């Protein structure tokens, strides 16, 4: 996971949108638990330069839709 994605997740946690994280070493993805109970899966190999923006918008969209 690139540093921009990590910084985005940290900022969203401070904003209260993310309440937990589940890391599974057998799986290559980070599962983020949102404040409304929804789960969002973050790819560990987010190499696209827009990856952090896509993660943020995906999380905000799930929050808006209610899960």
Q: Are 27 and 17 in contact (CB under 8 A)?
A: no
Spatial neighbors of 44 by CB under 8 A, at least 6 apart, are 1, 28, 29, 30
Give the model's pLDDT for residue 59.
Answer: 94
HSE-up (13 A, CA, CB side) for residue 36: 11
Domains, the chain, ordered by start: 3-65 (3.30.720)
Please write the tens of the pLDDT for every residue from 46-64.
Answer: 677 888 999 999 999 999 9
CA-derived radius of gyration, the chain: 11
Q: Are 46 and 1 in contact (CB under 8 A)?
A: yes
Q: What is the pLDDT along the chain (67 residues), one digit of tens a residue?
A: 788 999 999 999 999 999 999 887 777 788 999 999 999 998 877 677 888 999 999 999 999 988 6
Query: DSSP label at 20?
Result: E
């Amino acid at each position: 996971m690139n540093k921009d994605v990590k910084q985005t997740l940290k900022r969203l946690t401070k904003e209260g949108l993310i309440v937990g994280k589940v890391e599974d070493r057998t799986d290559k993805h980070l599962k983020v638990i949102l404040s409304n109970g929804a789960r969002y899966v973050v790819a560990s190999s987010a190499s696209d330069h827009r990856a952090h923006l896509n993660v943020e918008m995906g999380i905000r969209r799930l929050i808006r839709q209610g899960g």
